[in-house]
Structure 1
Amino acid sequence: MDISVVIPLFNKKATIAATLASVTGQSCPAREIVVVNDGSTDGCEAVVESLGIPNLRLFHQKNAGVSAARNYGASLARCEWVAFIDGDDEWLPGFLETVIGLHDASPGHEVYATAYYAGDYQGNKRPITLNKLPFSEEQGVLDNYFEVGSCSDPPLWSSAICIRKAALQEIGGFPLDVKSGEDLLTWARLAVRKPPVYSTRPLAVFWQEKAHTYDDKPNRTPERDDPVGKGLAALKTIPGGDARHLGRYLSMWYKMRSSIYLRLGQRHNALPEILKGLRHQPSNGKLYIYLLLCLMPPAVTRNVFKRFGR
């Protein structure tokens, strides 16, 4: 199993060297590393060049966003398999070895992935929560992806995943018309085709900025036309696709959108999202709590999310 590593890079001067060290330090090395500089302005591309990594190729594009950078990197990859990692995340020892082991144990799938740690801006990290797993061993086929995703932290994540290049291209790559949630929609489009093979051993770290935690306000509002929600709903119509539990997954998506609106103090925007989520899953208990939060002062709502948000 030959693997190309693709790294989209935008203004990660402080972290890219550590990210690359975590890639080059793997016990099973990747065949190549493709870095796509997405119009950075902080000089991070010079850091990449200064490291002199022999199997690394650096490409440049005008700033077009992370989806475009990932798609461009994947198109340049020479291997059948592509593993992604962002320029401020890291792989732990054994990540690529585990991915290869998953492939050897369960060939014929299109996605191989591991669990990961969620790290915050203060340096703390925790393993993600996984519920409703269909296997009791450390690894297996995630054949109920939408069920697990509806009641857990996102099981698939952009820096702990390896994808068959052709499969990614067949679904059109990462969507270019999505500002937030583009990776979530991509994993869903892949999972409905063929279930991922998964290891519950956390072998990567997702380092989150303060705005991505409950300690600060979100730094963006949900997109009004909701291309991710529409894209997820469209998966029901794919012939032969496995869309079991997709309704619960959609309910989770609307819960995420409503929580952002609530944290921003936009209760009038949160309410329609809550109602959409309940329509897809009337038993989603958190959404009833969110209904109550719509009646609370914004300061109280923010404090509730800070204390109990996860």
Structure 2
Amino acid sequence: MAIRTSRPGPQAPARGGSRRRRVPLRLLVPLLFLIALMAMLLLRGYVHSEILADHRISPEAAADKVPDEIKDGGPVIDTRGDKPQSLTIPDGRMVLTFDDGPDPEWTPKVLDVLKKHDAHAVFFVTGTMASRYPDLVERMVEEGHEVGLHTFNHPDLSLQSKDRIDWELSQTQLALTGAAGVRTSLFRPPYSSQAAAMDNKSWPVTEYIGDRGYITVVNTADSEDWRKPGVLEIIRRSTPKDGKGAVVLMHDSGGDRHQTVQALDRMLPDLKEKGYEFDNLTEALDAPSAHSPVTGVELWKGKAWVFLVQASDKITGVLVVGLAIVGFLVIARFVMMLVLSAVHARKVRRRGFAWGPPVTEPVSVLVPAYNEAKCIENTVRSLVASDHPIEIIVIDDGSTDGTARIVESLGLPNVRVVRQLNAGKPAALNRGVANARYDIIVMMDGDTVFEPTTVRELVQPFADPRVGAVAGNAKVGNKDKLIGAWQHIEYVMGFNLDRRMYDVLQCMPTIPGAVGAFRRSALERVGGMSDDTLAEDTDITMAIHRDGWKVVYAENARAWTEAPETVQQLWSQRYRWSYGTMQAIWKHRRALVDRGPSGRFGRVGLPFVSLFMVVAPLLAPLIDVFLIYGLVFGPTGKTILAWFGVLAIQAACAAYAFVLDREKLTPLLSLPLQQILYRQLMYVVLLQSWITALTGGRLRWQKLRRKGGVQAPPGAAAQPPLVDGRPVA
């Protein structure tokens, strides 16, 4: 697994003016993957008669247009020539026919009985079953039986158009070709009985079938084994009178056929003793074989069809397992978040709770900034209004929009600007740490604003000497638009409930870049911020865990960040997050074998992050894929009920998260739409990240365009800043 990054750098201008834009490979591959996934499901539904199936049965009609020689004739009807012919089976010969198969359970038992008694038969297979069980069709042909067509998915052809009839025939022949390498000229219409039952609706179909080169085979004796009347009754109905020849209708599929198998095992030897021969149709009529070999392109088309059907069934089976896995993971995560978040809230909100003596010493706040001209003033002014003694260091990382000049022109106390050539955020933060005066270091983004109490709340856990880092409560500041509201739900429900859960489990995976604090000694022991990954916040958090420090969550340390306001910017941000998280997991994979107290993160945190942040989201689209499939092809009612059930669980978790964070519940009105649209975007982003990681692609830092729409909290500027605990004029 090759995972690489590249630092930002100047891009060469396009030559020759505008260039034709192409879809990037890492965007095209996820799209093709999802299309292939849906295609496999559609193919599976097609061969399982869930798509294009027609279960209507035509009522009886008049029969005045059916020739008398057909109605009074035998069970074999040949309309291939100018004049229809009716053929009967010679006396002493029986043609056993089996409809609706092959069936994986009962067809092998029927074949075993026929082989045991040296008997041949005709199997009228459906294309759906032949496609799914080609090995049984091949066995039929190899053991000397004949195979006929029984349509693809068993519709009443008298209700179908000629195009639909052609389609049913061609698709079934394709399945037969792929399974056994032969074509057949035998056909039996679904819902047919004896020739005398032919009417004005079925007769035109029979004529058309003859024009297409097929012989229609009905029956003279119906065992009615599908009714399960008992073994003796099946034998009685199947046995012809006075030694006459017969075509016997039986079934090797469509339900429990144990009575059919038992009846065959008793009937075959008994009737053989009476002189009957059990032949396939052409043997009984002394006619050329109904089978003809297929070669060349047509044979390979058939084999390709069977291969795709087999693949679709196997892939669907894997998808069902994946759906079960993701369902378990989603429910387990919800339960854990609800239970452990309640435990966390009860712990930190109980009367008298404290991490230790109040932390009052000054801290350093680092603000890495790259082209943050629209945001930086709001950010710095919010920090100056802090009620905790701080120094503010703005590290200008080679900005070209005058970010540093804006900060300097404000003339605010205890605010320093450090300039450097563009080297990336990790380098900027390390430069800030080197210039910081104090042992507790707060880090934030240049597009974020703090409340006056944020820093104080953020640093209180450092009263515990075992704490090496603290995660704050990042919130979306620009949530007035729909895409912002969706991210607001995600931040409150996903990120902050997760952090409460991970806090209780003592395996916090990420200190958010928007609001986090570190003990200087903890940073120095792990080598500071690293540019090995695009998720330097996750990387440093995992490193601090592995060094034996505690990482905790401060729910009241609220920071308001500017979330992306366009789909393209959101895509860029989440793509970097997802890919960077994968990089961090891969970088710290050896945490799985760490021992001692530092090994807790490897034993608990790393598997949880991998399951809940990488594997489960990757499999989560299965819920929506099967939702679409169920809505279109059924069972629609159950599918809708299941989806609303999952939505209700998510809504309950979201509402609980909003209550814990003391947020208004109004944004949750957009939760259903978020599930339909927003999550799909996140799925594709994660899939693209997987492809980038597995192929070893390079991903650049992508600067998001900010609008500076997040303002300092009301009243923040009116409060004087504190230095060493004293107001500064």
Q: What is the TM-score with the length of structure 1 in the denominator?
A: 0.72
Give the Å deviation of 1:216: 5.1
What value does the CA root-mean-square deviation take over the aligned residues?
3.4
* Distance change (3 Å), C-alpha of 1:198 and 1:239: same
Cα-to-partner distance string for 1:200-252 (whole Å, 9 max, x where unaligned): 225111222235x6985336566599532312313224443122322121234
**How many Å apart are 1:33 and its aligned residue?**
1.3
CA 1:293 to 1:214, structure 2 compared with 1: closer, same or farther past 3 Å? farther
Name the residue aligned to 1:48: 407
Code of the residue aligned with 1:164 in structure 2: it is R
What percent of counterpart residues are identical? 23
Aligned equivalents of 1:39, 1:92: Cα separation in 2: 28
Amino acid at match of 2:408: E
Q: Which residue of 2 aligns with 1:12?
A: 372
After the TM superposition, which residues 1-310 of structure 1 pair with which residues of structure 2 at under 5 Å, given as runs? 1-30=361-390, 32-104=391-463, 106-120=464-478, 122=481, 125=488, 128-129=492-493, 130-131=496-497, 142-146=503-507, 156-178=511-533, 180-192=534-546, 193-201=548-556, 203-210=558-565, 217-218=571-572, 227-240=583-596, 241=598, 242-243=600-601, 244-245=603-604, 246-253=606-613, 255=614, 277=615, 284=616, 286-291=617-622, 304-306=676-678
Partners of 2:680 and 2:468 lie apart in 1 by: 36
Cα distance in 2 between the residues matched to 1:176 and 1:134:
28
CA gap of 1:100–1:289, structure 2 versus 1, over 3 A, is closer
- Alignment CA distance shift 1:100-1:231 (3 Å): same
Shift of 1:166: 1.8
Q: What SS class does the counterpart of residue 142 from structure 1 fall into? A: helix
Question: Which has the larger Rg?
Answer: 2
Structure holding more helix per residue? 2
Consecutive unaligned residues in structure 2, runs of 5 or more? 1-360, 629-673, 683-729
Cα separation, 2, equivalents of 1:145 and 1:206: 26
8 Å contact 1:71–1:173 — kept in the other structure? yes
Q: CA deviation at 1:162?
A: 1.1
Match of 1:269 in 2: none
**Equivalent pair of 2:522/2:544 in contact (CA under 8 Å):** yes
Q: 1:289 to 1:69 in 2, by over 3 A?
A: same
Q: Flag structure 1 segments of 5+ consecutive residues without an equivalent.
A: 136-140, 256-276, 278-283
- In the aligned structure 1, how far is the partner of 2:609 from the partner of 2:453? 30
Structure 1 Cα separation of the partners of residues 570 and 514 of structure 2: 23
Instruction: Give distance in 2, aligned partners of 1:157 and 1:224.
Output: 13
* 1:58 Cα offset (Å): 1.2
Q: Distance in 1 between matches of 2:409 and 2:523?
A: 31
Structure 1 residue 309, shift from structure 2 partner: 6.5
1:281-309 C-alpha deviation (Å, 9 max, x unpaired):
xxx4x443335678999xxxx99442677
Contact 1:114 1:203 in 2 (8 A): yes
Whether the 8 Å CA contact 1:159–1:204 is kept in 2: the answer is yes
**Whole-Å separation in 2 of the counterparts to 1:177 and 1:22:** 31
Stretches of 4+ aligned residues off by more than 6 angstroms:
132-135, 292-297
| Other structure's SS at 1:128 match | helix
Conserved 8 A contact 1:111-1:161: yes
Is the Cα contact below 8 Å between 1:142 and 1:195 reproduced in 2? no
Which deviations, in whole Å up to 9, do the C-alpha atoms of 1:46-102 show, x marking residues without a partner?
Answer: 101101122122111111111110111111111111001111111112112213433
Partner-residue secondary structure (3-state), 1:42:
coil
Alignment TM-score, normalising by the size of structure 2: 0.33
The count of aligned residue pairs is: 262
Code of the aligned partner of 2:587: G
